[in-house]
Amino acid sequence: MTHSDLARRIRAASHLTGRFTLRSGQTATEYFDKYRFEGDPVLLDEIAARMAPLVPPGTEVLAGLEMGGIPVVTALGRHTGLPCAFVRKQAKPYGTCRLAEGADIAGRRVLVVEDVVTSGGQIVLSTADLRGLGAQVHEALCVIDREQGGAGALAAEGIGLLSLLTAADLRAVAA
């Protein structure tokens, strides 16, 4: 399967039109319903296989952000063999009371994994939390970069954004 074939499959599975309010507060007339590609085990496995070579050398832990980053990071971990952490938006108030569940992150090089990036806001917030817990975070990896300022916002925080696909890739296969 080529890069364009994968983009076509993701677009076919998840592209919606209408009026949508994004997490950033922005509105959009097109939306990529990530749960549609994350809920397809065959497609998710292909996505993870294509993301694996993008994992920077020296990465010790993959950290998936609640909620959409969790299935992506789990599938990616199967392809890389790297342990995974599951990062909540806020620490749960019961049980372990942890913000990051799963693999230990303190003192380790951690790659943040997200599904779709628009403004990068949640990655910025979660990276600050992870760094506060001792993680070394220099990059984030996503399935789709909507190319709406996320990369710049992350760069301002010392985080490089790597993406499997961009909005331009998905527009290019729309015809």
User: In this predicted structure, what is the pLDDT of residue 174?
Assistant: 87
Domain-wise residue ranges, the chain: 3-172
What is 97-119 written as a DSSP string?
--SEEES--TTSEEEEEEEEESS
| 24 to 63, 103, 118, 123, 146: CA distances (angstroms) | 21, 29, 7, 12, 12
pLDDT in tens, 109-141: 999 999 999 999 999 999 999 999 999 999 999
Query: Which H/E stretch holds residue 2?
Result: none
Domain 3-172 in CATH 3.40.50.2020: yes
* Residue entry with tokens 């990276």: 127
1-59 per-position pLDDT tens digit: 899 999 999 999 999 999 999 777 888 898 889 999 999 999 999 999 999 999 999 99
* Annotation: binding site: 23, 88-89, 92, 114-122, 146
The answer to whether 34 touches 7, Cβ cutoff 8 Å, is no
Q: Output the six-digit token pair for 112.
A: 């943040």
Numbered residues of the known binding site for orotate: 118, 146
Beta strands in the chain (DSSP E): 15-21, 27-32, 61-65, 84-87, 100-102, 109-117, 136-145, 160-166
pLDDT (average), residues 54-66: 97
- Residues making up the annotated binding site for 5-phospho-alpha-D-ribose 1-diphosphate are 23, 88-89, 92, 114-122
